[in-house]
Amino acid sequence: MSRTALAPGRARPEPAVATPARAQPEPAVVRAAPFRVVRADRAPAMLEDFGRLRRRAFVEEQRLFAHHDTDEFDADPHTQTLLAVGHDGTVLGGVRLHPATDDPHLGWWRGSRLVCSRALPGVPRGAIGGALVRAACEAALAGGALRFDAHVQERYRAFFVRLGWEDVRAIEVAGAPHRLMRFAIDRIAHLAAATKTPIARLLGDDLGTPAGWLGDDGVPVLGTDVVACTDAVTPAMVEDDPEWAGWCGMLVTAHDLSAMGAAPVGALDALGARDEAHAQRILKGLHRGARAFSLPLLGGHLQLASPARSASPAWAAPSTPSPPPVDGQATR
């Protein structure tokens, strides 16, 4: 075998060494979810399947109802139904959420008729029910709910607790033991923390209320059996819907007195309006609210040709004495 001559000063080449090809990572396997949660108004044909699941679970198996489990909430236009649907269109479960009272605008919503089909291969136990409950909570929050609760059978209490629900108390539904469970919605607490607690700090020593009072719309007047309160409606609301703003002015004032355990005596109103016609619309709502909440409108202040505004100071006599603050905390 002949050798290749090297030019002077040139280094001898290293023998070629085969480099193994770099191993390529396996492509990630993306597994599609075995089901999805949809609103029934986008799949109305599936409501019958949901009804069959409900009837099998609540009537035939659990015997909570004699012939059917339908009620007034099925016909309520405010009721929302959420369905868990498999890839082949099979309804795997569902849940309703609806107003808990006759007033859909109160903000009190309830979940009910949660039902799931038998276990789906490859799906962990409780996954379908958990997805439905979480979707119902999201729908309640998106709808502006201030309270969202459910009547839950005793055996599912721990399941709801794991999902973050609060166990309130024992109740009975359809002759069977249940738990009243509540999903925590803290938008009111956040609003109160942002708007109420600074009052005492801002007023400081000028706050003529019992020691330790943190500040609120309604307070006991020292040395009397009177509770005084005040509230205001935003100028934009008074401008956009004067009558509704007037009614709400009495509503929030009556609520403040009620929260103090007091019976209304009377209210004044400080009113600003563009003109007399605008003022009349606000006063119409004030009078309607005064009748609705048994809170007589005694008089007040009126300023025409001014930006729209309304504030309602009021007085009340406690139906039960307000307890003194304990350990520096305000009574609410």
Structural domain contains residue 212: no
CB 272 within 8 A of CB 300: no
Structural domain contains residue 210: no
Structural domain contains residue 83: yes
3-state secondary structure the chain: CCCCCCCCCCCCCCCCCCCCCCCCCCCCCCCCCCEEEEEHHHCHHHHHHHHHHHHHHHHHHCCCCCCCCCCHHHHCCCCEEEEEEECCCCEEEEEEEEECCCCCCCCEEEEEEEEECCCCCCCCCCHHHHHHHHHHHHHHHHCCCCEEEEEEEHHHHHHHHHCCEEEEEEEEECCEEEEEEEECCCHHHHHHHHHCCHHHHHHHHHCCCCCCCCCCCEEECCCCCCEEECCEECHHHHHHCHHHHHHHHHHHHHHHHHHCCEEEEEEEEEEEECCHHHHHHHHHHHHHHHHHCCCCEEEEEEEECCCCEEECCEEEEECCCCCCCECCECCC
322 band by pLDDT with thresholds 50, 70 and 90: very low
**Residue where one domain finishes, among candidates 167, 185, 203:** 185
Domain coverage including residue 266: 217-318
Judge if 81 and 40 occupy the same domain: yes
Number of residues that make up the chain: 332
Tell me the per-residue pLDDT of 15-41, one tens digit each, with 9 for 90 and over: 444 444 444 545 444 455 789 999 997
Structural domain contains residue 197: no
CATH assignment of the domain containing 137:
3.40.630.30
Q: Given the structure tokens 């005492």, which residue do they identify?
A: 200
Tell me the per-residue pLDDT of 195-242, one tens digit each, with 9 for 90 and over: 766 766 676 666 555 555 555 677 777 778 888 888 888 888 888 888
Task: For the sheet with 165-173, list strands across it.
Answer: 35-39, 80-86, 91-99, 108-116, 147-153, 176-183, 165-173
Judge if 131 and 267 occupy the same domain: no
CA-CA distances (angstroms) from residue 298 to 206, 248, 266, 280, 288? 27, 17, 6, 16, 14
| pLDDT at residue number 22 | 47
**Residue where one domain finishes, among candidates 143, 166, 185:** 185
The most confident of 26-35, 180-189, 264-273, 319-328, by mean pLDDT: 180-189
Q: What is the mean pLDDT of residues 129-134?
A: 96
Judge if 158 and 224 occupy the same domain: no
Tokens, residue 79: 């009721």
75 band by pLDDT with thresholds 50, 70 and 90: very high
Number of domains observed in the structure of the chain: 2
* pTM listed for this prediction: 0.59
Strand-strand pairing, 108-116 and 147-153? parallel
Judge if 171 and 239 occupy the same domain: no
Structural domain contains residue 14: no
Judge if 252 and 293 occupy the same domain: yes
Judge if 141 and 275 occupy the same domain: no
Judge if 301 and 168 occupy the same domain: no
Strand partners, 270: 301, 311
Q: What is the mean pLDDT of residues 120-128?
A: 84
Structural domain contains residue 149: yes
Strand partners, 177: 172
Tell me the per-residue pLDDT of 245-262, one tens digit each, with 9 for 90 and over: 888 888 888 888 887 778
CATH assignment of the domain containing 256:
3.30.1330.10
Judge if 79 and 152 occupy the same domain: yes
Judge if 99 and 153 occupy the same domain: yes
Closest CA to 150 of 315, 140, 103: 140
Judge if 161 and 76 occupy the same domain: yes
Tell me the per-residue pLDDT of 296-305, one tens digit each, with 9 for 90 and over: 888 888 888 8
Structural domain contains residue 158: yes
Q: What sign does the CA torsion over 314, 317, 320, 325 have?
A: positive
Structural domain contains residue 201: no
Judge if 161 and 45 occupy the same domain: yes
| pLDDT score of 324 more than 60 | no
Judge if 168 and 127 occupy the same domain: yes
Distance CA 231, CA 283 (A): 16
Strand-strand pairing, 176-183 and 165-173? antiparallel
